[in-house]
Amino acid sequence: MKSRSRRQLRLTLRYLAIALVLIVFLFPVYWLFMISFKTPDEIFSSPPKWWPGQIQFGNYAVLFKDGDVIAIWNSITVSFASTAIAMTLGTLCAYALARFKTGGENLAMWIISQRMMPPIAIVFPLFLIYVWAGLVDTHAGLILLYTAFNLPYVIWMMRGYIEDIPLELEESALVDGCSRWQVFWRVVVPMARSGLMATAVFTFIFAWNDFLFALVMTRTEVITFPVQLTHYMGGQSNFWGKIAAMSVLGSLPVMLTVAFMQRYLVRGISLGAVKG
Amino acid sequence: MTARYNRLSTLIDRNFGRIAAAPAIAVLLAVSLFPLIYTIVVSFQNLTMLDSDTSFQGFMHYRAALFDTRLWAALGHTTLILVIALPLEIILGYVLARLFLEQLPGRQVFVALLVLPTVLSPIVAGATWRLMFDVRFGPVGQIVSWLVGEPVTMLWTVNPTLVYPAILICEVWQWTPFMFLLLLAALSNVDQGQLEAAELDGASGWRVFSKIILPAIRPVLVIAILIRGLDIFRIFDVIWVLTEGGPGTMTETLSIFTYQIGFVQFDTSYTAAISIMVVLALTIALTWALRRVEALK
Amino acid sequence: MAGLTITGLHKRYGGFHALKGIDLTIQDGSFAVFVGPSGCGKSTLLRSIAGLEDVDEGKIAIGGEDVTDLRPRDRDIAMVFQNYALYPYLTVFENIAFGLRSRKFPETEIRRRVGEAAEILGITALLDRLPRHLSGGQRQRVAIGRAIVRQAKLFLFDEPLSNLDAKLRDEMRGEIKRLHKEIGKTMVYVTHDQVEAMTLADRIMLLRDGRIEQEGAPLDLFERPSTGFVASFLGSPTINLIPGRLVTRSGRSAVVLDTGESLDLPAQRAKLDDGERPILLGIRPQYLTRAAGTLAAGHARIEANADLIQPTGTRTFVTSHIGGVAVTAELAAHDVDNSEGRIAYALDMARAILIDPSTDKVI
């Protein structure tokens, strides 16, 4: 009896600790969402109001009215396009690395080291080239950049997923009359389906969340949402409603995908080191 | 006899590895090697916003960089954030992982919620904390006032004693869940039989940790430290939103500094030289680190 | 028509010489089995025939056509893999149809052929299922089905039964033998299991360290092994190898064991020149019987303690120490009583195999 009540107590304490942790970590997110629903009067009240008087979408309406949501649209197109290209080229390259040992271990190491270079070290050189090539502030320029930036990740992750596919399946297809190209599309791609999905989601998120490249390479035409967000901050005049609303719009897609991709989260963010 | 078979298709199959790898390698080379060569050339010239002097200047900019106190200060700031944030994230992440390790109803949902900050854009994270830290309308100052029992005015993003705590809070808040998630996965794979055997032997908590748990989670820990270490080394977004490197150059990190001289002052050749030096230093450090990681496996 | 000829085949993996000059011919329509211990090169040889491994030297010809440099898809072969290699995302029907679709067969032809194959293998009811909903035996049938719809010239089997339990293995073995009779194509089968090799093969190629140690009909290899290795690889329980000396005096030969017993060889097996040399006396367990009354011709008598008696129902295995080593005798079920101590054996010396211990060659 005694040990049972003690276990009960421990469980209660654990739940309490977990609740405390969640409050601490989620309160800023709550605050962000709440501000986006507040009226300016409620936002700028001191002491701050802990919940909105009423849910209203004025801050979002302003973004749409001013046409600022174009930044979200830019983020969507650029992220989608670069993800699609990086996944196609990257998966093919990963297949070569996994099954044909193309370039040996050195090529694989070079590729992953590309991923680890700090963007700031390559963004200035790239900027010089982009100016010369007229790629600054173009969709093509940003898409190329995100493709290149995410390729090492895609190659690294997909190599791991492809190595998990039993070799016999591919050999059986070869004997059954497939060319290598057919093996890739009819066996490798369907077998790596879930890995492809997970990697694509993370590739998308990386492009979606990027700030530095977009800051440097865009001016007016392809401003993405993080850049747009920084435009609302300046000295004394903070457009808090806009900041909050834009942040929420820019975070919802990522939050939703992660909720559905939980199974692949660990492997995705650890560069495949933890199979999870 | 071979004429019956498609020559081209056979040729493609025989070289499929190279053909499949080529496009990706081409893109990577175009975006890394080509600009790198161009930058090396520029770093030996003397291009600035006002001047387009393309004559050969030797190692002038490299020498200048070595004696640039602002650059060394930026490196110092970056290191400061690294040595405080990284251990904090690891320790907090480990504690949280232990808290969530045992199965209990609703665990999956809790984990998913806790991971939220990590997937946000760092710019959004920074913006969120800017709202949180606001001196008049933010909740942080309010909460501190309650705790102290009297009204306090905290200028988080301006006051020299508070800017680093502000940056660190935001950084640790966003990335502790990352460590938590990896360590949770690592801890779940620790051999339960070994733990039970140790418990039966009456081993102390510390011995269990250092002899069983730590060796088991070490590979994951190394990867996590490597990934996060490199991330913090290039920290830019959060600082850009919170302080823009200020007040003055107090929170200027390597990335912020490079951005300032390259894209604000347009000191082209000098920035090129610094970029080359960073790439060189990191390549050496990374090659060494990756060898060590490989050796660990 | 579609026999298989291999000449001078070499395969190296870095410093490891996996195949060291293989020459063989397999007649059209026959069932050949590559057998040997793991690492002997049998799987590498099969994969080379399939085109899944590039060879370093030598030629492979299927049906008289040199296929050495052709891709697997151009060799017109079908292969069944050890782990079935079924595509988990395709139904049984689509798994069987996979090769036909690769070769762009018309839909009606695909339906007809898959239907036929399913009929032969008794899996018609499973066509709409996914592989993960099948038992091991059913999966194996699907894998075989995928091979036979193609109506290829040559069938390759890479240890297809090793993942099945003993009962299913016996059943599928019979099934494969029946299939061979039915479709009459050349089949090459790899296994490490000598029972499978003996029961299935028209012709066995026994491999050892990248070479063919001996090839021939199963019973030939069993009764007339060329080396001690072949003798001990085939047969279950394994052959007894007793150390001793072969002594020939004036036209009569005998094996003198290390423990002193002398076992006479029948006159037709006597060696010509006098002298003596160390040998291993190889005698299969079934050629040790109980000595009763007078010995039959060619038999030698020896007494030993029954150390271990293991009845299996049909036969009873008795282990004794003879010549300093443990020797197994396979006796009829009621030939021996559990309480018996000393047993007199009759060794059928006409069937004995004499091996030179220094070269492992049979004398």
pLDDT confidence band for B1 (50 / 70 / 90) = very low
C44: distance to nearest CA of chain A, Å?
A: 13
Return the domain boundaries, chain A. 2-56, 62-269
Q: Which residues from C are below 8 Å from B10, CB to CB?
A: 70-71, 74
Which two three-digit tokens encode residue C69? Answer: 């440099």
Domain A62-269 architecture: Orthogonal Bundle (1.10)
Residue in A112, A128, A262 closest to B112 by CB = A262
Q: Which of these, C306, C284, C287, C199, lies nearest to C238 by C-alpha position?
A: C284
CB of C64 less than 8 A from some CB of B: no
C65 and B10 within 8 Å at the Cβ level: the answer is no
Contacts of B235 (CB under 8 A, 6+ apart): B78, B81, B171, B253, B255
pLDDT digits (tens, 9 = 90+) for A235-244: 666 788 899 9
Q: Quickly count: other Cβ atoms within 10 Å of residue C207's Cβ.
A: 25
pLDDT at A236: 60
Mutate to test the interface with A, among B9, B18, B128, B292 (most CBs of A within 10 A): B128
> Any bridge partners for residue C253, and if so which?
C248
Residue B53 clears pLDDT 80, i.e. is over it: no
Which two three-digit tokens encode residue B139? Answer: 């909740």
C71 and B10 within 8 Å at the Cβ level: the answer is yes
Chain length of chain C: 363
Residue C249 phi/psi, 5-degree rounding, is: -130, 120
Instruction: Give the mean model confidence (pLDDT) for residues B31-60.
Output: 82
SS3 of A200-265: HHHHHHHHHHCCHHHHHHCCCCCCCHHHHHHHCCCCCCCCHHHHHHHHHHHHHHHHHHHHHCHHHH
pLDDT digits (tens, 9 = 90+) for B187-197: 988 888 888 88
Identify the closest residue of chain C to B2 by CA–CA distance: C70
HSE-CB of A58 using CA atoms within 13 angstroms: 15
Which structural domains are found in chain B, ordered by start? Answer: 2-43 (no CATH), 60-122+155-296 (1.10.3720.10)
The more confident residue out of A262 and C186 is C186
Measured CA to CA, the distance from residue A6 to residue B147 in angstroms comes to 32
Measured CA to CA, the distance from residue C38 to residue B194 in angstroms comes to 35
Cα dihedral C167, C169, C175, C178 sign: negative
pLDDT confidence band for A40 (50 / 70 / 90) = confident
Are A259 and B172 in contact by the 8 Å Cβ rule? The answer is no
Q: Which residues from B are below 8 Å from C66, CB to CB?
A: 1
pLDDT digits (tens, 9 = 90+) for A145-195: 999 999 999 999 999 999 999 999 999 999 999 999 999 999 999 999 989
In chain C, what percentage of residues exceed pLDDT 90? Answer: 67
Identify the closest residue of chain C to B14 by CA–CA distance: C71
Cα dihedral B164, B167, B172, B175 sign: negative
DSSP string, C153-167: SEEEEESTTTTS-HH
Neighbours of chain A (3+ CB pairs under 8 A): B, C
Q: Which residues from C are below 8 Å from A187, CB to CB?
A: 87
Measured CA to CA, the distance from residue B181 to residue B96 in angstroms comes to 9
Measured CA to CA, the distance from residue A231 to residue C235 in angstroms comes to 84
ipTM for this prediction: 0.90
CATH of C4-226, one of 3.90.550.10, 3.30.450.60, 3.40.50.300, 3.40.395.10: 3.40.50.300
Instruction: Give the mean model confidence (pLDDT) for residues A46-59.
Output: 82
CATH number for the segment(s) C240-355: 2.40.50.140
Single pTM value for the model? 0.88
pLDDT digits (tens, 9 = 90+) for C201-249: 999 999 999 999 999 999 999 999 999 999 999 988 899 999 999 998 8
Measured CA to CA, the distance from residue A241 to residue A66 in angstroms comes to 13
CB of C74 less than 8 A from some CB of B: yes
Measured CA to CA, the distance from residue C299 to residue C351 in angstroms comes to 9
Measured CA to CA, the distance from residue A61 to residue B62 in angstroms comes to 51
pLDDT at B239: 94
The more confident residue out of A236 and A26 is A26
Which two three-digit tokens encode residue C63? Answer: 């049906």
Contacts of B73 (CB under 8 A, 6+ apart): B249, B252
Question: With b meaning 16 or more CB within 10 Å and e meaning fewer, what string describes A130-149?
Answer: beeeebbebbebbbbbbbbb
Cα→Cα distances C311→B172, C330, C336, Å: 72, 10, 9
Measured CA to CA, the distance from residue C11 to residue A30 in angstroms comes to 66
Instruction: Give the mean model confidence (pLDDT) for residues C1-27.
Output: 91
Which of the 8 DSSP states describes residue A147?
H
User: Residue B161, class by beta-carbon neighbours within 10 Å (0-12 exposed, 13-18 middle, 19+ buried)?
Assistant: exposed
Measured CA to CA, the distance from residue A150 to residue A98 in angstroms comes to 18
Measured CA to CA, the distance from residue A213 to residue A121 in angstroms comes to 11
Mutate to test the interface with C, among A100, A169, A175, A188 (most CBs of C within 10 A): A175
Residue A274 clears pLDDT 50, i.e. is over it: yes
Which of the 8 DSSP states describes residue C361?
B
pLDDT confidence band for B2 (50 / 70 / 90) = very low
CB of C151 less than 8 A from some CB of A: no
> Any bridge partners for residue C308, and if so which?
C319
pLDDT at B296: 65
Contacts of B111 (CB under 8 A, 6+ apart): A262, B100, B181, B184
> Treating both helix axes as pointing N-terminal to C-terminal, what angle do B69-101 and A2-37 enclose, rounded to 10 degrees?
130
pLDDT at A80: 95
pLDDT digits (tens, 9 = 90+) for B13-40: 889 999 999 999 999 998 888 888 888 8
Q: Which of these, A246, A253, A252, A199, lies nearest to A227 by C-alpha position?
A: A246
Are B168 and A64 in contact by the 8 Å Cβ rule? The answer is no
- If you search the block for the tokens 């507040």, which residue do you land on? A38
What's CA A220's distance to the chain center, in Å? 23
- The SS3 assignment for C353 reads strand
> Any bridge partners for residue B53, and if so which?
B46
Mutate to test the interface with B, among C66, C67, C74, C102 (most CBs of B within 10 A): C74
- The SS3 assignment for A51 reads coil
Which two three-digit tokens encode residue B30? Answer: 């175009």
- If you search the block for the tokens 């019973």, which residue do you land on? C219
pLDDT at B3: 44
pLDDT digits (tens, 9 = 90+) for A63-78: 999 889 999 999 999 9
C102 and A178 within 8 Å at the Cβ level: the answer is yes
Return the domain boundaries, chain C. 4-226, 240-355
Measured CA to CA, the distance from residue A107 to residue A97 in angstroms comes to 8
As a whole number, the mean pLDDT across chain C is: 91
Could you report how far apart the first and last alpha carbons of chain B are, in Å?
A: 50
Mutate to test the interface with A, among B96, B123, B136 (most CBs of A within 10 A): B123
Which of the 8 DSSP states describes residue C268?
G
Are B254 and B278 in contact by the 8 Å Cβ rule? The answer is yes
Are A259 and B111 in contact by the 8 Å Cβ rule? The answer is no
Q: Which of residues 215-254 of C touch A (CB under 8 A)?
A: none
Cα→Cα distances A117→A8, B140, B276, B278, Å: 50, 35, 12, 9
Measured CA to CA, the distance from residue C100 to residue C156 in angstroms comes to 18
pLDDT at A92: 97
pLDDT at C1: 55
Q: Where are the alpha helices (DSSP H) in B104-249?
A: 107-119, 122-133, 139-148, 160-188, 192-200, 205-208, 214-233, 237-242
pLDDT digits (tens, 9 = 90+) for B206-263: 888 888 899 889 888 988 898 899 889 989 999 999 988 878 889 999 999 999 998 8
What's CA C211's distance to the chain center, in Å? 15
Question: How many contacts, defined by CB atoms under 8 Å, are there between B and C?
Answer: 12
pLDDT confidence band for A217 (50 / 70 / 90) = very high
User: E strand or H helix at C188, and its extent?
Assistant: strand C186-191
Q: Which residues from A are below 8 Å from B185, CB to CB?
A: 266, 270, 274, 276
Cα dihedral B32, B37, B38, B44 sign: positive
Residue in B116, B176, B268 closest to A255 by CB = B116
Q: Which residues from A are below 8 Å from B104, CB to CB?
A: 11, 14-15
A116 and B127 within 8 Å at the Cβ level: the answer is no
Question: With b meaning 16 or more CB within 10 Å and e meaning fewer, what string describes A90-116?
Answer: bbbbbbbbbbbebbeeebbbebbbbbb
A49: distance to nearest CA of chain B, Å?
A: 9
As a whole number, the mean pLDDT across chain A is: 89
> Any bridge partners for residue C347, and if so which?
C288, C300
Q: Which residues from A are below 8 Å from B219, CB to CB?
A: 273
DSSP string, A84-113: HHHHHHHHHHHHHHHHS-TTHHHHHHHHHH
The more confident residue out of C252 and B62 is B62
Measured CA to CA, the distance from residue C15 to residue B199 in angstroms comes to 49
DSSP string, A159-205: HHHHHTS-HHHHHHHHHTT--HHHHIIIIIHHHTHHHHHHHHHHHHH
Which two three-digit tokens encode residue B232? Answer: 């913090």
The one-letter amino acid code at C45 reads L
Residue A1 clears pLDDT 60, i.e. is over it: no
pLDDT at B232: 92
Which two three-digit tokens encode residue A200? Answer: 């694509």
